[in-house]
Structure 1
């Protein structure tokens, strides 16, 4: 199981953004719903590693969030709220979000897994950090294009070009600059590493 603890950066000097975060993450599937946990933090419990990747990169793109990903056990029966949850995944998520605050110029995320699987958790964190670097480096103009692209769909670049009134070549160049095609493959790699860490727990 995966627990995400997400902490707002600079919360003492900026408005409360937790409602904005909960709305951002609402489409991401959970086992226990996204909720404010304490103060400037939110938490969710997820089962699918691909959803963990989606939630993490949404937070990185939005900016101003520290993301801690904890992998491990969650005590059953599951409570109605993450705030009442117990288990090693919750402890790991707390450790991870605290470490995410110390990543410096790197994407502000961290992954903590079960004892004995720190190597795989570190690999998952490294792949997510690389993805985060690309996400952080994209311009608004690139995002306008990328948000309209559909992976694996023929003719999508032409359709996007028509929608935005630009050339297909401009769409292709933007996707290449942003490493969009590579991201699709690397997202799968990150999800597999997260799943492997979970299975070995």
Structure 2
């Protein structure tokens, strides 16, 4: 099980953004729903590793969040609120978000848990740097692209009034295809860690 603890950067000098965060994360399926935990922090419990990747990258795209992912046990029966949750995943998430605040120039995220968590964090952080480095112009294009759909670049170019070559260059510059390829790999690493097992080495 995965517990995500997300803390607002610079909350003492900026407006409360937790309602914005909860709206951002609302589409991400949970076992225990997203909720403000304390002050400028939100928390939720997620069962699927792919959904964890979606949540983390959404936060990094939005900017201004420290993201901690804890992998481990969530004690049953599941409570109605993450504030009442217990188990090793909650402890790991607390440790992760505190470490995420000390990542410096790296993507502000950390993953704590069983063997395999460090590998998942490393790949997720690399992917996060690409997501954080994209411009608004690139996002306007990427948000319209449909993976594995023939002719999508031409359709996006027509919608935005630009050339297909401009769409292609923006997608390449933003490492869009690389992200699509890496997302499942990150999810697998998270799932392996959640299972308490490391990937087999050849």
Measured against the shorter chain, the TM-score band is over 0.9
Q: Which residue of 2 aligns with 1:39?
A: 39
Distance (whole Å) between structure 1 residues aligned to residue 84 and residue 108 of structure 2 = 26
Q: Which residue of 1 aligns with 2:131?
A: 135
Distance (whole Å) between structure 1 residues aligned to residue 123 and residue 76 of structure 2 = 31
Instruction: For residue 66 of structure 2, give the secondary structure of its aligned residue in structure 1.
Output: strand
Offset, 1:92: 0.2
Q: Which residue of 2 aligns with 1:109?
A: 109
Aligned length: 197
Aligned alpha-carbon RMSD (Å):
0.7
Instruction: For residue 78 of structure 1, give the secondary structure of its aligned residue in structure 2.
Output: coil
Unaligned runs of 5+ in 2: 198-202
Q: Which residue of 2 aligns with 1:181?
A: 177
Equivalent positions of 1:95-174 (< 5 A) are 95-114=95-114, 117=115, 120-174=116-170
Instruction: For residue 67 of structure 2, give the secondary structure of its aligned residue in structure 1.
Output: strand
Distance (whole Å) between structure 1 residues aligned to residue 33 and residue 159 of structure 2 = 35
Distance (whole Å) between structure 2 residues aligned to residue 16 and residue 136 of structure 1 = 21
Unaligned runs of 5+ in 1: none
Q: Which residue of 1 aligns with 2:61?
A: 61
Distance (whole Å) between structure 1 residues aligned to residue 64 and residue 37 of structure 2 = 17
Cα displacement string for residues 99-156 of structure 1 (whole angstroms, at most 9, x for unaligned residues): 0000000000000013xx1xx1111001011011101111110000001011111111
Distance (whole Å) between structure 2 residues aligned to residue 94 and residue 26 of structure 1 = 21
Output the TM-score relative to the length of structure 2: 0.96
Segments ≥4 residues shifted beyond 4 Å: none
Cα displacement string for residues 30-68 of structure 1 (whole angstroms, at most 9, x for unaligned residues): 111100000000000000000000000000011100000
